[in-house]
Structure 1
Amino acid sequence: MKRSIPDSIVIAGHADHDLLSALAREITQRAGGDAALGAKFSAMLRQCVDDVIMTPKTGRRSYDELEKTEKTYIGTRVEIELRAMLNLPKGKLDTSILGRDVDIKNTMGSNWMIPTEAIGHPCILVAADEVRALCYLGLFIARPAYLTQGQNKDAKKSVSALGFANILWLLRDHPYPPNFWRTVPPDVVARIFEGRTGNQRMANLFREVQRIPITRDVVEAVAQQQDFMRRIRSDKGRGTRDHLAREGILLLSGHYDAPLITGLGLPPCSGSEFVSYRARSQAEADLAAAHGIALDWQPTG
């Protein structure tokens, strides 16, 4: 997305203020409030992109490696997922809100392409900035005065510089979960996927990446097993957690092990995240034992 976005001029008295404000209130209410909108929207975008990159299966680690048709599909996927997230119906355009036909446009670049059928109608503008890990959600009336004069071969126009000021932002420069695999060095990724079984790959993941919350989606992708949650827990000495504990490494769940995560000074984890940590002292091993996890801990050095 553009690094310099003008402040919105959609305030009381603006021609689009009443309609866009009403749409914004409806969207926010459907999401469950401002905080819920930010959390759900950013997670939904991350999922849409990661499901197309498919790092564990393809070896690709970034949006830039996708084929043109895959990039196009992300826009379709975002449209479908956004409607589902907000429980919105299909409309004559992409959806209908408060009885108004609304188009949904997504970009991973710096602008949106507005089709002729959307001109004069409200648009939901969605953007994800993979490099800066930021996302955007705005509302906009696709008036001709807000669009560029030039158009592409499909007669689609972009939002003009003037048009950007006429966007009502629901989320602007909002934190967006980075692509996990962009944060991991290539040699580490290779070692993770050297494992032949789901247990081996998960153990490699949590050996290699410690003190960093890892989402359930990443774990599932690495495990490539339907019963991966069973394997990540203690499983009569056979689970990933059991194998790592024998090496002095804790594998903790944000849902079940929050007190121990806090006690060890690890980053907070959501209920669907996991974090690993190699105990560094007998006191930490004792703390783990007090929370029901027995480690085979030995001093190093």
Structure 2
Amino acid sequence: MLPLDEFAPPADPALADVAAEIRRLDPDGSRWAAVIRHTYDMIYNGQETSRYRWDQLMKTEKTHFGTLFEINAQREFHFEGGDSTDYRIAGHQVDAKWSQSMGGWMLPPEVFDELALVATGDDATSSWSLGLVRVRSEYRREGANRDKKSQLNQLGRNSIHWIWRDAPLRPNVLLQLPRDVVDNIFNNRFGTQRTHRLFRAAEGRIVHRNIVATVSRQLDHQKRVRYNGGSRSALAPEGYLILSGQYHGGLVEALDLPMPRNDEYISVRVVPSSDGTGAFIGGRRWRRARPDEAVAEPAPRIDEPKANDD
């Protein structure tokens, strides 16, 4: 995920300074992507609410997303506070603005003629964008609300210097699965059973531990994954392995699966391999089962750390 480079350098020297500093702090955009992912997860508060979609939030919560985004970005990058704006970056005043829709940023009078760091995202499409714009009078819409806030007009939106545009966001697997499948996952009173249903339905897909917390709604939600009563033991007779990005990267690679990060899982249905391909587990080779292939043997047991954090 590299910053955009097809645009000409901005004519505004301060904007160019800020853009260069943002790129210096985060050359590939991964830190900004993590800020946005974390903000979505915070606002959903899935472990307590089971929410995982934007349309499940209350209006006040949606409004609060921008404040959380601003706070989380400051914690991640340690920007100085501005005089009348949120930050001071590379010595320049910068105000952070989030909108769930492209172009929907609300700009108060104190940001007029200052730099705005505008960001947007879409959890359903796993994408986000971040850019800079000088909030000039000719870039603002004529109308304003009772708080004297305005939005960018078409000229203003066209004048945004995009640093990242439609960059990938770590996926929310509950938004990737069909709605009726997700409804079925949640349609059980027991957190352990909901977790089993999740890993069955999400076979071959990345599952973040926050999703496990959202589905299980347990304080020790990682226990719902492990052996001794968790999904690893419950789903093994059906041929499922549940692999951790932190501990099972070699098995993930050998089974030719998407690689989860340290705080992610991936489930896979396996069968014994007769052609020497796949992962070597328990003295035998195993490969990913085809969607229509019956599983005749339980999945082999994999190594599992004893610590609570796997």
TM-score (norm 2): 0.80
User: Counterpart of 1:108?
Assistant: 100
SS class of match (1:113): coil
Q: How far is the alpha carbon of 1:178 from its aligned partner?
A: 4.2
User: Counterpart of 1:28?
Assistant: 23
1:90-239 equivalences in 2 (<5 Å): 90-92=81-83, 93-111=85-103, 112-234=105-227, 237-239=228-230
Question: Among the aligned pairs, what percent are the same residue?
Answer: 32
Q: How far is the alpha carbon of 1:212 from its aligned partner?
A: 0.6
Q: Are residues 240 and 179 of structure 1, via their aligned partners in 2, closer, same or farther at CA, if it must alter by over 3 Å?
A: closer
| Alpha-carbon separation, structure 1, partners of 2:220 and 2:42 | 19
| Alpha-carbon separation, structure 1, partners of 2:250 and 2:161 | 41
1:189-226 per-position Cα deviation (integer Å, ceiling 9, x unaligned):
23323444443332221122201111121122223333
Contact 1:253 1:273 in 2 (8 A): yes
Gap runs ≥5 in structure 2: 1-5, 287-294, 299-310
Contact 2:208 2:265 in 1 (8 A): yes
User: Counterpart of 1:81?
Assistant: 72
User: Counterpart of 1:257?
Assistant: 248
Q: Are residues 105 and 291 of structure 1, via their aligned partners in 2, closer, same or farther at CA, if it must alter by over 3 Å?
A: farther
SS class of match (1:266): coil
Contact 2:203 2:266 in 1 (8 A): yes
Q: Are residues 280 and 134 of structure 1, via their aligned partners in 2, closer, same or farther at CA, if it must alter by over 3 Å?
A: same
Contact 2:120 2:129 in 1 (8 A): yes
Worse-matched range after superposition: 279-288 or 63-72: 279-288
User: Which one-letter code corresponds to 1:19 in the other structure?
Assistant: A
Q: How far is the alpha carbon of 1:148 from its aligned partner?
A: 1.8
User: Which one-letter code corresponds to 1:298 in the other structure?
Assistant: A
1:268 corresponds to 2:268: no
Q: How far is the alpha carbon of 1:232 from its aligned partner?
A: 2.2
User: Which one-letter code corresponds to 1:263 in the other structure?
Assistant: A
Contact 2:115 2:134 in 1 (8 A): yes
Paired residue total = 281
User: Counterpart of 1:48?
Assistant: 39
Worse-matched range after superposition: 80-89 or 93-102: 93-102
SS class of match (2:102): coil
User: Counterpart of 1:288?
Assistant: 281
Q: Are residues 290 and 77 of structure 1, via their aligned partners in 2, closer, same or farther at CA, if it must alter by over 3 Å?
A: farther
1:241-297 per-position Cα deviation (integer Å, ceiling 9, x unaligned):
12222332111111211111121222222222111111134558983324899xxx6
| Alpha-carbon separation, structure 1, partners of 2:133 and 2:284 | 52
User: Which one-letter code corresponds to 1:20 in the other structure?
Assistant: L
Structure with more of its chain in helix, by fraction: 1
Q: How far is the alpha carbon of 1:176 from its aligned partner?
A: 2.5
User: Counterpart of 1:19?
Assistant: 14
User: Which one-letter code corresponds to 1:161 in the other structure?
Assistant: Q
Contact 1:241 1:250 in 2 (8 A): yes
SS class of match (1:192): helix
| Alpha-carbon separation, structure 1, partners of 2:82 and 2:187 | 47
Contact 1:46 1:179 in 2 (8 A): no
